[in-house]
Amino acid sequence: MIKTLITRIQQGHRTMRYPDAGAPAPEMPARFRGRPIFDAARCPDTCRQCADACPTQAIAIADGAIKLDMGRCLFCTDCADSCPEKAITYSRDYRLTVRQASDLVVDAGQELKLAAALDGKLRKLFGRSLQLRQVCAGGCNGCESDVNVLNTIGWDLSRFGISFVASPRHADGLLITGPVTENMKQALKTAYDAVPDPKIVIAVGACALSGGPFINHPEVHNGAASVVPIDLFIPGCPPHPMTILDGLLRLLGKIEAEKP
């Protein structure tokens, strides 16, 4: 027993301090890809190779203007790889979460309108204790795995008062992953109805936002918004745990909604 205690003391503090005491966010890994950045000045007016290469039609080009649907983006680099002018790069910014689906669609040089906090009444109700029921609506377990990372010792999501529960009847809201397959549509609706009012719904990952790589497949419903109302949209395929954490903390007003 004494050896265990000594070892634990030697290990020190393992939970990251961010965002407490103004501590900086941890450095993103070398392979991390944030939002695609388009250098419109280097894009020929007649070139559509990036849009044609995108597997989910996340890029739209009309009259020389480029629009990107972050809800559809898989962060796969097919657009960047296909660009003959090398006008597309990926940022290192993990902050991608928004409150409205319309805010997911941005012009090439437009900044994202990052998520604002819940209104006063809901923020007072959920700000110190938010219990979520996680629903995998046909996901591949990529987003589910990164959600689970938040419960490990390095992240310790519970220190913010956020935890996951086993039943929607014990929850304040749902956290949904997956494209909502036909077989999960009714299950998701049943889980939503079982959560007591007032409630919030968080969609995590490209599948839950738009159907992801399965978009428009006859066996999926192109995301959770087709079944239930969404209060927070977290893009990514899968989103990095920092992206998910940033979105949750913004929703609860623990991080100010500054511009990226």
Average pLDDT, consecutive stretches of 10 residues, N- to C-terminus, the chain (260 residues) = 79 80 85 89 80 92 85 93 89 94 87 90 90 95 95 92 95 97 96 96 96 93 95 96 95 72
Q: Cα–Cα distance between 163 and 172 in angstroms, integer?
A: 10
Which pLDDT score, from 0 to 100, does residue 23 have?
82
Q: Quick check: is 191 in a domain?
A: yes
Torsion angle of C-alpha atoms 181, 68, 79, 38, degrees rounded to 10: -160
Q: Quick check: is 79 in a domain?
A: no
Reported pTM: 0.91
| Contact in structure between 194 and 168 (CB atoms under 8 Å) | yes
Q: Quick check: is 179 in a domain?
A: yes
Q: Quick check: is 77 in a domain?
A: no
Q: Cα–Cα distance between 100 and 118 in angstroms, integer?
A: 12
Which pLDDT score, from 0 to 100, does residue 258 have?
55
pLDDT tens-place string over residues 77-131 = 999 999 888 889 999 999 999 999 999 998 877 788 999 999 988 888 898 899 9
Burial class (CB in 10 A: 0-12, 13-18, 19+), 28: middle
- The CATH number that applies at residue 128 is 3.40.50.12280
Q: Quick check: is 169 in a domain?
A: yes
Which pLDDT score, from 0 to 100, does residue 259 have?
47
Which pLDDT score, from 0 to 100, does residue 73 have?
94
Which residues constitute the domain of residue 139? 120-251
Which pLDDT score, from 0 to 100, does residue 257 have?
55
Which pLDDT score, from 0 to 100, does residue 260 have?
46
Q: Quick check: is 233 in a domain?
A: yes
Tokens coding 251 = 């929703």
Number of domains in the chain: 1
Bridge pairing between strands 130-136 and 173-177? parallel
Which pLDDT score, from 0 to 100, does residue 16 have?
87
Q: Quick check: is 59 in a domain?
A: no
Q: Quick check: is 128 in a domain?
A: yes
pLDDT tens-place string over residues 135-145 = 999 999 999 99
